[in-house]
């Protein structure tokens, strides 16, 4: 079941997943039998919604007037000048309502949940950005919401827990296992299997069982669709590289997907190297893991020699996950995308640099991508263009950053 | 030898006119030696079939008791290899009691399906239940198990409607495990009256005996289900005895107090199951 040694490059990268939810060897529907009929029901409902112009029009309306799309594509002239390489553009997803790209997916899925007649929403969250976005759309449409969050993350992301509570969501602190995002996802799946009759599981990243990786990607692809058009308007050409941080990988696949068939555009994901790849304390599933099955899909995972899942380590709660979306695993194997890493310390430096030079506090997740942007811009060189997905804002991270700088706030 | 053991056991139960008692225990819980002593003691305590869980770090369909059992086993270093070694040791004394392995996909992917099927059959495993491997993903595993005459036992659930049931029972043998409640193990309580028509549907669709599990904790509940099902599975209630023994006593290996607690509980459940059809509800 290991990844093929020399996979074929497809003619159309956007033709995946197949009907079984597979991106090459990756993806699938590895869920308990109780959930299988629901997974098929969700797949059928999503396919119908995707093809329904009324659904798409309703979603587009909320994206414009509630989320605040399109988000700007901003030329970061001082970062560009600082690195002395290609022009750096930032796709400003942090300006969306709730402060990250997560709302794009939540808006799509909540409309789908209501279309399916579901009356209760559950979600998992790591940093709390997806939890906040889910709580937000649940408040907007008047649906009860339970968010599962690892107890460790509840502790390090207190402001987001309070935000969710203000929005009317119940936050369940998960103490099982390592008490982080993977355990929150286990607990959400346990809730779903127990409350199948009325509950919709609003997964926050492009991972999990089919059709979630496809569906979340489609809802996030608005990022890349806009960015592609915006960079063409600004520069009259496609970029040389598109860069994004990768945990589960929803912001990355969202910006990558519309560029998949543009052969000249390099797609670069940045995984969290935590305390350093050599320490083993990281969250880089592709760079430090191997294929396996967790949370409904076959994908690259951090695991030991026996197939037990290992804990991820990252300063960023949003990247602190031992897996990655299956489409990224496939794009890595076929060589269409490249996956680099950035450590906690490199990301903190990038966080500070972006604040000082551009007046933007990036989410510590997005700061991982920013940590590699200098190398990439210099590698592409002057006259080139790179686009980075600034997936979230860093207000939620100021306490973490202060802590690492040895300050109390 | 393998499928044959399950078929022979259900044929014998039918001849006796009673339901079977299936006990679930986690390999290596609370430690390898104690768990093996429990395993070896279960047939005498009245277990007609035995399910042996192999631990996984992220058991998404389990409630807290079996989650904690897996954690205890992993902390003591239990592996899939160690689980098969325990079953091989059990087989030295017992050639008749069917053993069903139960767990999650990833340790099997790591081992490799072919090698796993070969080694499981050699250890004396009769059937395998993989909780997160539905029929849609099971073909390559089923091929490997078929080649070694090991049954792939399927789970039917309250959500298995008439459209779904034929998919669930495809490529299966031995028996079908009916999950009596929508939920995780060991939390909600099974209702025998509600379960009865589903057992009949699954029997009809599969042509196989039906074992019922999830949410059966007491001898009374086990007896009620034994009146309508071909076998009754109890897991969390036995695993709870391990937890109680570990909490109550010292951390010694082998832990004889834990062994005694689990086997005593198994005996009371087995008695209730065996007597169920002789004593009207």
Query: Do A404 and A314 touch, CB atoms closer than 8 A?
Result: no
* pLDDT of amino acid B185: 85
Inform me whether the C-beta atom of residue A293 falls under 8 Å from chain B C-beta atoms: yes
pLDDT > 80? residue A5 = no
**Is residue A151 exposed (0-12), middle (13-18) or buried (19+ Cβ within 10 Å)?**
middle
A vs B, Cβ pairs < 8 A, gives 125
Q: How far apart are CA B142 and CA B177, in angstroms?
A: 17
* pLDDT of amino acid B281: 58
Query: Do A369 and A354 touch, CB atoms closer than 8 A?
Result: no
Question: Judged by CB atoms within 8 Å, which residues 96-125 of B form the interface with A?
Answer: 104-113
Q: What is the mean pLDDT of residues B218-223?
A: 96
Per-residue pLDDT reduced to its tens digit, A295-321? 999 999 999 999 999 999 999 988 989
What is the DSSP-derived secondary structure letter of residue A198? T
Q: Which whole-number Å values give the CA distances from A321 to A158, A330, B55, B124, in the listed order?
A: 19, 18, 21, 37
Residue A95: both structure tokens together: 């300006």
Q: Establish if B166 belongs to a structural domain.
A: yes
Domain interval for residue B18: 3-274
Per-residue pLDDT reduced to its tens digit, A248-298? 999 999 999 999 999 999 999 999 999 999 999 999 999 999 999 999 999
Q: Which whole-number Å values give the CA distances from A52 to A43, A134, A174, B44, in the listed order?
A: 14, 23, 38, 62
**Is residue B247 exposed (0-12), middle (13-18) or buried (19+ Cβ within 10 Å)?**
exposed
pLDDT > 80? residue A2 = no
Inform me whether the C-beta atom of residue A37 falls under 8 Å from chain B C-beta atoms: yes
Question: Judged by CB atoms within 8 Å, which residues 173-232 of B form the interface with A?
Answer: 179, 182-184, 187-188
Q: B164–A307: do the CB atoms touch at under 8 Å? A: no
Inform me whether the C-beta atom of residue B244 falls under 8 Å from chain A C-beta atoms: no
Residue A8 confidence class, pLDDT cut points 50, 70, 90: low
Inform me whether the C-beta atom of residue B56 falls under 8 Å from chain A C-beta atoms: yes
Per-residue pLDDT reduced to its tens digit, B137-165? 999 999 999 999 999 999 999 999 999 99
DSSP string, B80-130: HHHHHHHHHHHHTT-SSS-EEEEE-HHHHHHH-HHHHHHHHHHHT--EEEE
Residues in chain B: 281
Q: B182–A37: do the CB atoms touch at under 8 Å? A: no
Answer yes or no: B200 catalytic.
no
Of the CA atoms within 13 Å of residue A168, those in its CB half-sphere come to 14
Q: Establish if B244 belongs to a structural domain.
A: yes
Q: Establish if B21 belongs to a structural domain.
A: yes
Per-residue pLDDT reduced to its tens digit, B73-118? 999 999 999 999 999 999 999 999 999 999 999 999 999 999 999 9
Per-residue pLDDT reduced to its tens digit, A120-130? 999 999 889 89
pLDDT > 60? residue A80 = yes
pLDDT > 60? residue B1 = no
* pLDDT of amino acid B2: 58
* pLDDT of amino acid B280: 64
Phi, psi angle pair for B232, to nearest 5°: -120, 130
In the set B16, B33, B51, B256, the catalytic residue is B51
Per-residue pLDDT reduced to its tens digit, B228-281? 999 999 999 999 999 999 999 888 899 999 999 999 999 999 999 999 988 665
Nearest Cα of chain A lies from the Cα of B151 at a distance, in angstroms, of 17
Beta bridge partners, B26, equal B53
* Residue burial A188-199, b: 16+ Cβ < 10 Å; e: rest: bbbbbbbbbeeb
ipTM: 0.95
Of B67, B74, B164, the CB nearest to A37: B164
Q: Which residues of A touch B171 (CB under 8 A)?
A: none
Q: A303–B110: do the CB atoms touch at under 8 Å? A: yes
Q: Which residues of B touch A182 (CB under 8 A)?
A: 58
Q: Which residues of B touch A291 (CB under 8 A)?
A: 109
Q: Which whole-number Å values give the CA distances from A91 to A109, A254, A296, in the listed order?
A: 23, 12, 31
Q: How does the average pLDDT of chain A come out, rounded?
A: 95
Q: What is the mean pLDDT of residues B56-70?
A: 94
Q: Establish if B168 belongs to a structural domain.
A: yes
Nearest Cα of chain B lies from the Cα of A337 at a distance, in angstroms, of 25
3-state secondary structure of B202: helix
Answer yes or no: B51 catalytic.
yes
* pLDDT of amino acid B182: 86
Helix H or strand E encompassing B51: strand B49-53
Q: Which residue of B has its CA nearest to A186?
A: B60
Q: A307–B111: do the CB atoms touch at under 8 Å? A: yes
Nearest Cα of chain A lies from the Cα of B181 at a distance, in angstroms, of 8
N-to-C CA span, chain B: 37
Q: How far apart are CA B103 and CA A88, in angstroms?
A: 49
pLDDT > 80? residue A197 = yes
Strand order in the sheet with A73-75: A73-75, A87-92, A385-390, A241-246, A266-274, A337-343
Per-residue pLDDT reduced to its tens digit, A136-166? 999 999 999 999 999 988 987 888 999 999 9
Residue B261: both structure tokens together: 């607690």
In the set B16, B33, B62, B114, the catalytic residue is B62
Number of H helices, E strands in chain A: 15, 14
Q: How far apart are CA A192 and CA A170, in angstroms?
A: 15
Q: B183–A194: do the CB atoms touch at under 8 Å? A: yes
Residue B164 is part of a domain; what is its CATH number? 3.20.20.70
Phi, psi angle pair for B127, to nearest 5°: -150, 160
Of A37, A194, A307, the CB nearest to B106: A307
Q: Which whole-number Å values give the CA distances from A311 to A301, A302, A328, B68, B143, in the listed order?
A: 10, 7, 20, 17, 33
Phi, psi angle pair for A25, to nearest 5°: -80, -10
Task: Domain count for chain B, please give it.
Answer: 1
Q: What is the mean pLDDT of residues A169-175?
A: 97
Sign, Cα dihedral of B265, B271, B276, B281 = negative
Q: Establish if B52 belongs to a structural domain.
A: yes
Residue B191 confidence class, pLDDT cut points 50, 70, 90: confident
Residue A230: both structure tokens together: 């915006």
Per-residue pLDDT reduced to its tens digit, A318-349? 898 999 999 999 999 999 999 999 999 999 99
Q: Establish if B105 belongs to a structural domain.
A: yes
Q: Establish if B280 belongs to a structural domain.
A: no
* Among A36, A43, A174, A289, the residue to mutate for chain B (most B Cβ within 10 A): A36
Q: Establish if B279 belongs to a structural domain.
A: no
Of A20, A293, A296, the CB nearest to B109: A293
Q: Which residues of B touch A305 (CB under 8 A)?
A: 110
Examine residue A17 and say whether the peptide bond preceding it is cis (omega within 30 degrees of 0): yes
Q: How far apart are CA A404 and CA B10, in angstroms?
A: 63
Residues 6+ apart with CB under 8 A from B243: B65, B68, B69, B72
Least confident range of A105-114, B176-185, B201-210: B176-185
Q: What is the mean pLDDT of residues A384-392?
A: 98
Q: Which residues of A are catalytic?
A: 102, 124, 391
Q: B136–A29: do the CB atoms touch at under 8 Å? A: yes
pLDDT > 70? residue A57 = yes
3-state secondary structure of A106: helix
* pLDDT of amino acid A3: 44
Strand order in the sheet with B176-179: B151-152, B127-130, B99-103, B49-53, B20-26, B231-234, B210-213, B176-179, B154-156
Q: B159–A295: do the CB atoms touch at under 8 Å? A: no
């Amino acid at each position: 079941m290991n990844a093929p040694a020399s996979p074929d490059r497809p003619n159309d990268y956007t033709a995946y997943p197949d009907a079984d939810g597979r991106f090459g060897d990756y993806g699938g529907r590895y869920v308990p039998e109780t959930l299988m009929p629901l997974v098929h029901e969700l797949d059928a409902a999503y396919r119908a919604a995707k093809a329904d112009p009324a659904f798409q029009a309703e979603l587009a309306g909320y994206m414009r007037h509630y989320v605040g799309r399109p988000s700007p594509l901003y030329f970061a002239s001082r970062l560009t000048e600082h690195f002395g390489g290609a022009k750096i553009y930032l796709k400003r997803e942090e300006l969306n309502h709730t402060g990250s790209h997560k709302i794009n997916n939540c808006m799509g899925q909540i409309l789908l949940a209501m279309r399916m007649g579901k009356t209760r929403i559950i979600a998992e969250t790591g940093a709390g950005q997806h939890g906040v976005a889910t709580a937000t759309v649940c408040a907007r449409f008047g649906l009860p919401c339970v968010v599962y969050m690892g107890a460790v993350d509840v502790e390090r992301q207190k402001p987001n827990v309070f935000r969710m509570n203000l929005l009317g969501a119940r936050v369940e602190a998960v103490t099982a296992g390592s008490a982080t995002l993977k355990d929150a996802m286990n607990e959400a799946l346990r809730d779903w299997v127990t409350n199948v009759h009325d509950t919709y599981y609003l997964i926050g990243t492009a991972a999990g069982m089919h059709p979630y990786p496809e569906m979340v990607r489609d809802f996030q692809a608005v990022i890349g669709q806009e960015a592609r058009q915006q960079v063409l308007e600004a520069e009259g050409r496609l970029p040389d590289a598109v860069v994004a941080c990768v945990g589960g990988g929803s912001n990355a696949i969202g910006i990558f997907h519309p560029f998949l068939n543009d052969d000249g555009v390099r797609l670069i994901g940045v995984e969290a190297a935590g305390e350093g790849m050599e320490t083993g304390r990281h969250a880089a599933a592709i760079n430090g893991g191997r294929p396996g099955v967790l949370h409904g899909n076959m994908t690259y995972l951090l695991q030991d020699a026996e197939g037990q899942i290992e804990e991820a380590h990252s300063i960023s709660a949003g990247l602190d996950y031992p897996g990655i979306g299956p489409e990224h695993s496939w794009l890595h194997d076929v060589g269409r995308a490249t996956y680099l890493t950035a450590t906690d310390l490199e990301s903190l430096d990038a966080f500070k640099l972006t604040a000082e030079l551009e007046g933007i506090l990036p989410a510590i997740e997005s700061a991982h991508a920013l940590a590699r942007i200098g190398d990439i811009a210099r590698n592409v060189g002057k006259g080139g263009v790179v686009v980075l997905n600034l997936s979230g804002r860093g207000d939620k991270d100021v306490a973490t950053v202060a802590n690492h700088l040895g300050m109390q706030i | 030898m393998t499928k044959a053991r399950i078929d022979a056991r259900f044929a014998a139960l039918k001849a006796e006119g009673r339901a079977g008692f299936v006990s679930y225990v986690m390999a290596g819980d609370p430690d390898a030696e104690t768990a093996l002593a429990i395993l070896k003691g279960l047939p005498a305590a009245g277990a007609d079939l035995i399910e042996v869980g192999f631990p996984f770090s992220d058991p998404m369909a389990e409630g807290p008791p079996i989650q904690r059992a897996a954690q205890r086993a992993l902390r003591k270093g239990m592996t899939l290899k160690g689980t098969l070694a325990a079953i091989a040791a059990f087989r030295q004394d017992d050639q008749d009691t069917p053993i069903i392995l139960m767990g999650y996909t990833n340790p099997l992917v790591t081992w490799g399906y072919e090698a796993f099927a070969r080694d499981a059959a050699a250890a004396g495993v009769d059937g395998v239940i993989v909780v997160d491997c539905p029929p849609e993903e099971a073909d390559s595993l089923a091929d490997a198990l078929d080649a070694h005459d090991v049954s792939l036992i399927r789970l039917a659930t309250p959500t298995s409607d008439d459209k779904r049931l034929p998919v669930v029972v495809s490529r299966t043998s031995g028996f079908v495990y009916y999950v009596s409640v929508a939920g995780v193990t060991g939390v909600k309580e099974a209702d025998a009256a509600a379960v009865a028509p589903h057992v009949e549907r699954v029997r009809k669709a599969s042509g196989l005996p039906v074992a019922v599990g999830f949410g059966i904790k007491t001898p009374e509940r086990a007896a009620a289900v034994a009146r309508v099902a071909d076998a009754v599975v109890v897991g969390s209630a036995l695993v709870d005895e391990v937890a109680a023994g570990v909490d109550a006593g010292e951390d010694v290996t082998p832990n004889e107090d834990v062994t005694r607690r689990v086997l005593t509980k198994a005996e009371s459940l087995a008695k209730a199951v065996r007597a169920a059809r002789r004593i009207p509800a």
